[in-house]
């Protein structure tokens, strides 16, 4: 019975992690376009300000892809705990960016980083649990 519960929880956490990786990558890349962006960049963000946000989101997507490839190839998926922690810290960075530039930031961006961060942390913890159970 415990094995079924563990395998079900594992499946849900892995599927959720894969969804969060796709959301982070696609959502970040879609922010390049006003039409397809998941986030509402208000009128205060224009010119250099919006370009800074868009370039940062593209770097975030590329970094996520590189980290996923590295962690999976090297079988170091527990490193996703640290990645998730930094994604959650991005919430503070986004808030700070908005305050410094005196612009309103879409609330969905905070939820985006919270969801992806927590998903990465849970997947990394699962990796550690799995490793500990088999040793």
pLDDT digits (tens, 9 = 90+) for 72-124: 899 888 899 999 999 999 999 989 988 888 878 778 888 999 999 999 999 99
**Residue 98 to residue 45: CA distance in whole angstroms:** 10
Rounded distance between C-alpha atoms, residue 35 and residue 81, angstroms? 33
| 103: three-class secondary structure by DSSP | coil
More confident residue, 101 or 39: 101
What's the pLDDT score for residue 47? 61
**pTM for the whole thing?**
0.84
pLDDT at 10 over 70: yes
User: With contact defined as beta carbons under 8 Å apart, do 124 and 82 qualify?
Assistant: yes
pLDDT average, residue stretch 26-34: 81
Band the pLDDT of 135: cuts 50, 70, 90.
very low
Per 3-state DSSP, the chain is made up of helix, strand and coil in percentages (nearest 5) of 80, 0, 20
Closest CA to 41 of 107, 88, 89, 130: 107
By percentage, how much of the chain surpasses pLDDT 70?
Answer: 82
């Amino acid at each position: 019975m415990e094995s079924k519960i563990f395998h079900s929880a594992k499946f849900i956490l892995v599927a959720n992690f894969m969804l969060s990786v796709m959301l982070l990558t696609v959502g970040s890349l879609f922010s390049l376009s006003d039409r397809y962006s998941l986030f509402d960049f208000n009128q205060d963000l224009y010119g250099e300000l919006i370009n800074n946000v868009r370039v940062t989101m593209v770097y975030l997507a590329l970094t996520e892809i590189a980290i996923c490839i590295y962690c999976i190839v090297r079988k170091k998926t527990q490193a996703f705990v640290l990645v998730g922690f930094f994604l959650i810290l991005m919430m503070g960075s986004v808030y700070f960016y908005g305050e410094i530039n005196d612009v309103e930031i879409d609330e969905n961006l905070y939820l985006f980083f919270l969801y992806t961060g927590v998903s990465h942390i849970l997947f990394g913890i699962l990796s550690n649990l799995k490793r500990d159970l088999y040793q």
